Amino acid sequence: MATLQQFQTLKKLSEVNVSIKELFEQEPDRLNRFVMREGPLRADFSKQALSSEALSALLKMAAKCDLEEWRAKLFAGESVNSSEDRAVLHMALRGVGGSKEVQKQVSEMRRHMADYADKIRSEGKFKNIVHIGIGGSDLGPRLVADGFEACAEQSLTLRFAENVDGASINDAVNGLDPTETLVIIVSKSFGTQETKMNGASARAWLKEGIGELASDHMLAVTANRNGAVDFGVREENIFDFWDWVGGRYSVWSAVGLSLQLAYGPDVFSEFLDGAAAMDMHFRDQPLQENLPVMMALVGIWNRNILDYSSLAVIPYSRRIRKLAAFLQQLEMESNGKRITRNGKEAGLTCPIIWGDEGTNGQHAFFQWLHQGPSAGKYGGAPVDFIAVLKDHESRPEHHRALLANCFAQSEALMLGKSEDFVRQELGKRDDLEELAPQKSFPGNRPSTTITLDELSPFALGELIALYEHKVFVQGVIWNVNSFDQWGVELGKVLATTILDEMSSGHSGQHDASTTALMDLVKP
């Protein structure tokens, strides 16, 4: 993990009062060092408030944190999830890393998924899929389904039910014919309350429409085969999910079966290939030429050195508008920890991840990004801009305007608009003293711009894997376990207790506020 002394050295480098604009002037080769490409993905970190000298210091810190050794352990299948004594092998789902036995299991599952998808698609019996899951069993497939829409033909209607709110399952099945609908229940444990309740409602809906044939229309993706069988899913309709795959890293597994059914095995295979390309880049490239390492170190600089508490993720592509929501789970559930691997206080770890699609965000929260205060050194929040260079919608004028807005916002955040310039612009007027400060922008607000040549399944796979490996690198530097999530458990346990008490009408011991809330809904 990074030491206090290393962070203090970096803090001193951050005290040099040089703007991002001045860094471009002082470092003629800045683009060469701060822009990296892997396949169709290009990342430009040059608009970060980070000098080449500071980047060198960050790389030295990463090396002293034994990052290369941790990376080797990850790909070798060693137990990097120390609190649960598990390997972390989602890369093996893409064909990278893992033992021969793991690769055999993955190969068999991929073949089983592809054969099943081809069978269902060719028979034509089913026209709709209802995918039921929550968290990683929902966010990844939703994001990817939208992304595939850009350049892949959807053969089956795909709907999702995730929330325990009855509106979720109602919206998912509304207007569908149960005789033409396949329900896929995705739960690693097959014990998640929301998923089981939505699954039970979907099962009842199927039985109402087709009677005992309902079991022919239900699949399960789980690590708990017995739980799925007890629920009523046929053994042959269960697709395995291994304990070395975390939920938020699971879209590459049988969790993506609904994607194969809707878009075809070839599209899904291309998606896996893109992630594998980023895996091999992360595994093989030296730290100073490594995209996920660079992204992680920029995040460390902004969080631990410049004291930013959040990161805005703004995709200028409607097809990946759910990226911020996906990354909220990936990053905040992985690294939202206050305790290190050895049980000590961790200090500052994962920032708040938030955002929306561009250009919508420009008409909502960009005012704050440009002029709002913050705990960070320069105000606002760092931004990850994501843009797709190819127009997939056959509306070139729209696409040029979309890209122009994306590129302009990153430049505007960096340059700002000085009060002196505003005064010259306004000229002599009675309200000059009041208005000039209001119309000035401080600038020097950091951002990264990631561009994809096109929104292909391959490029989308690379993009998601990039963020996955960024999370791992930051976890190593903060010395937190990025692959457990104990903080999720307490609320689940209490919710089960309260639900039982609300159903029975007998309240247990709670604080006065919780008891009063429960009294509002007594049967």
What is the band of 243 on the pLDDT scale with cuts at 50, 70, 90? confident
523 has pLDDT over 80: no
1 has pLDDT over 80: no
- How much is the pLDDT for 130? 98
Residue with tokens 């998601």: 464
pTM above 0.85, yes or no: yes
Cα–Cα distance measured from residue 272 to residue 202, given in angstroms and rounded to the nearest whole number: 30
What is the band of 493 on the pLDDT scale with cuts at 50, 70, 90? confident
Compute the average pLDDT of residues 38-53: 97
What is the band of 331 on the pLDDT scale with cuts at 50, 70, 90? very high
Asked whether the domain spanning 90-271 has the same topology as the one spanning 4-64+285-478, the reply is yes
Task: Give CA torsion, residues 338, 341, 344, 348, to 10 deg.
Answer: -30
- How much is the pLDDT for 3? 82
Cα–Cα distance measured from residue 155 to residue 128, given in angstroms and rounded to the nearest whole number: 9
What is the band of 17 on the pLDDT scale with cuts at 50, 70, 90? confident
Q: Which residues pair with 161 in a beta bridge?
A: 132
Compute the average pLDDT of residues 39-58: 97
180 has pLDDT over 80: yes
- How much is the pLDDT for 504? 86
- 370 in active site: no
Compute the average pLDDT of residues 157-176: 98
- 337 in active site: no
Cα–Cα distance measured from residue 356 to residue 360, given in angstroms and rounded to the nearest whole number: 7
Cα–Cα distance measured from residue 127 to residue 262, given in angstroms and rounded to the nearest whole number: 9
- How much is the pLDDT for 225? 95
Per-domain residue ranges of the chain? 4-64+285-478, 90-271, 490-519
Residue among 454, 458, 482 at smallest CA distance from 470 = 482
450 has pLDDT over 80: yes
- How much is the pLDDT for 184? 98
- 363 in active site: yes
Residue among 263, 241, 228 at smallest CA distance from 117 = 263
pLDDT, tens digit, 9 for 90 and up, residues 107-122: 999 999 999 999 999 9
Compute the average pLDDT of residues 352-360: 97
Instruction: Calculate the average pLDDT of the chain.
Output: 95
Find all residues with CB under 8 Å of 146, minimum gap 6, and list them. Answer: 318, 319, 320, 321, 322
Q: Is 95 left (phi over 0), alpha (psi -120 to 50) or beta?
A: left
Cα–Cα distance measured from residue 108 to residue 67, given in angstroms and rounded to the nearest whole number: 33
Output the six-digit token pair for 432.
């000059």
Q: What fold is seen in the domain 4-64+285-478? A: Rossmann fold (3.40.50)
- How much is the pLDDT for 496? 87
For residue 352, the SS3 value is strand
Compute the average pLDDT of residues 330-347: 95
- How much is the pLDDT for 2? 81
Query: Which one of 162, 194, 270, 333 is the catalytic residue?
Result: 333
pLDDT, tens digit, 9 for 90 and up, residues 182-202: 999 999 999 889 999 999 999
When the candidates are 3.40.50.150, 3.40.50.10490, 3.30.70.920, 3.40.47.10, the CATH number that belongs to 90-271 is 3.40.50.10490
Cα–Cα distance measured from residue 300 to residue 331, given in angstroms and rounded to the nearest whole number: 13
- How much is the pLDDT for 491? 81
